[in-house]
Amino acid sequence: MAALKKGDNAPGFSLADQNGNSTSLEDYKGKKVLLYFYPRADTPGCTKQACSVRDNMATLKGLSIAVLGISPDSPERQKKFDDKYNLGFPLLSDTDHRVADLYGVWGEKSMYGKKLWGILRSSFLIDEKGTVIDRWYKVKPLDTVRKAVQALGD
């Protein structure tokens, strides 16, 4: 799928979280959502990103923003990641990258000179009605929260 733009409707989904519970975007109607996609749990960049979200949770809650992280990892791997770093927010399992495709974040990338397909680290700020306020493709791990907070100040 093509990249989403500001003002687009955020594609709906339902995925298992790290505790095996079904979580859908519809569950968050009436709330702003910071939805971020990351390549793999417990890798250096993904850990920096998740811990940054965790460490800024008070700011996000103060702005009435809920957080959902999505990766192709299994719920079990997501659970280990959550437990190891005490993240405390839903980490959703998109093992077949169906949702990543809907958001335009599954693509070809280069790692150590090799071409491979995977998650292009990206984040989306979604409003209470399910509309994309802003989106950041290939976002840097430590910019995820900053960009979301700035988008609400613009």
> What is the rounded CA–CA span in Å between residue 57 and residue 87?
10
Would you state the pLDDT for residue 110? Answer: 74
pLDDT above 90 for 108: no
The torsion angles phi and psi of 38, rounded to 5 degrees, stand at -135, 150
pTM for the full model? Answer: 0.94
Would you state the pLDDT for residue 112? Answer: 77
* Domains of the chain from N-terminus onward: 14-153 (3.40.30.10)
Cβ pair 17, 78 in contact under 8 A: yes
pLDDT above 80 for 1: no
Mean pLDDT (the chain) is: 95
pLDDT tens-digit series, residues 10-37: 999 999 999 999 999 999 999 999 999 9
Would you state the pLDDT for residue 130? Answer: 97
Cβ pair 18, 82 in contact under 8 A: yes
- In total, the chain counts a number of residues equal to 154
pLDDT above 70 for 142: yes
**Residues annotated as part of the active site:** 46
